[in-house]
């Protein structure tokens, strides 16, 4: 969900140390005003860019400015098998992350200055083993060459979904943001008007499964998960907009190997489910 600066500022207090805006399903959050709010108050900002590989905001790739984290999980647009990419324009922060992610060593295993392993490397502080493997990195690099091709195909399929779903009154479209951005279409989300459909989202997903159409439920409201309910006393009603959307959304198939005939199959199955 896209957070406005005004909505964000209502929740900033003296205890706020970090803001994590989320780029959702391939669409960019309106990060400019959010970043200004954080900068004005000296609050650190990290962009959750797990869905935003090759997404653009105001003519720039997400991740070019500030600090962001991308995901290369097997279901993402490109994969390294598992792992993430940390990006930052803060050189001191990058140096610290490089040190912590590989045992706290004073240099990386591969020293870019000498193009070899440094014989003088020593542990400067307790660190972790958080580096991606060379084999995984090679897989990711090989897929990077195809990102634009993947994106173009995803955009074509997303347009096909949108065009065909316009005539389905029970599906509420997600608005594409009006500010300058380029959608990367990581997911295609449908939002069910449960009142018109007389069908709950979970039943809707089950009906589609019976018609051999897989769906995904990615975004259950976090504050209603068991841990947060029990450990932090969170409950329904605290975030009504989040809860309303969480109860109605799921993703339908969108991947580069699909055809427009596959899109027809998905939309026809949706129509069948809603015509019962």
- Interhelix angle 147-165/260-274, rounded to 10 degrees, is 40
* Sign of the CA dihedral with 20 first, then 181, 90, and 43 last: negative
**Annotated active-site residue in 65, 76, 101, 271:** 76
The pair of structure tokens assigned to 191 is 């939002």
Long-range contacts of 239-242 (CB under 8 A, 24+ apart): 241/1, 242/1
- Asked if 20 and 43 touch (Cβ cutoff 8 Å), the reply is no
Which of 141, 93, 117 lies closest to 108 in space, CA to CA?
Answer: 117
- Interhelix angle 260-274/201-210, rounded to 10 degrees, is 120
The pair of structure tokens assigned to 261 is 């005939």
Strands, sheet with 171-172, edge to edge from the N-terminal-most edge strand: 171-172, 188-192, 249-252
Distance in angstroms (rounded) separating the CA atoms of residues 160 and 165: 9
Local structure of 70: helix, strand or coil: strand
Is residue 36 annotated as a catalytic residue, yes or no?
A: no
What is the Cα 148 distance to its own chain's centre?
18
Active site amino acids: 76
């Amino acid at each position: 969900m896209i957070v406005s600066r005004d909505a964000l500022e209502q929740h900033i207090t003296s205890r706020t140390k970090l803001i994590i805006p989320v780029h959702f399903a391939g669409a960019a959050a309106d990060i400019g005003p959010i970043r200004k709010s954080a900068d004005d108050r000296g609050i650190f900002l990290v962009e959750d860019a797990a869905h935003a590989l090759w997404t653009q905001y105001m003519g720039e790739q997400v991740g070019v400015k500030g600090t962001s984290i991308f995901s290369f999980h097997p279901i993402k647009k490109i994969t390294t098998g598992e792992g993430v990419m940390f990006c930052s324009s803060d050189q001191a922060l990058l140096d610290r992350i490089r040190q912590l992610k590989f045992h706290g060593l004073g240099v990386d295993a591969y020293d870019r200055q000498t193009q070899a392993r440094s014989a003088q490397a020593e542990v400067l502080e307790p660190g972790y083993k958080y580096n991606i493997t060379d084999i995984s990195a090679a897989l990711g690099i090989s897929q990077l060459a195809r990102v634009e091709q993947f994106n173009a195909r995803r955009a074509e399929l997303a347009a096909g979904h949108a065009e065909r779903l316009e005539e389905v009154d029970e599906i509420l479209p997600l608005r594409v943001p009006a500010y300058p951005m380029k959608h990367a279409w990581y997911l295609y989300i449908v939002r069910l008007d449960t009142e018109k459909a007389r069908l709950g989202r979970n039943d809707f997903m089950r009906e589609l499964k019976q018609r051999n159409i897989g769906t995904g439920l990615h975004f259950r409201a976090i504050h209603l998960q068991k841990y947060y309910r029990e450990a932090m006393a969170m409950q329904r009603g605290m975030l009504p907009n989040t809860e309303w959307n969480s109860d109605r959304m799921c993703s339908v198939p969108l991947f580069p190997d699909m055809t427009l005939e596959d899109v027809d199959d998905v939309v026809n199955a949706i129509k069948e489910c809603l015509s019962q």
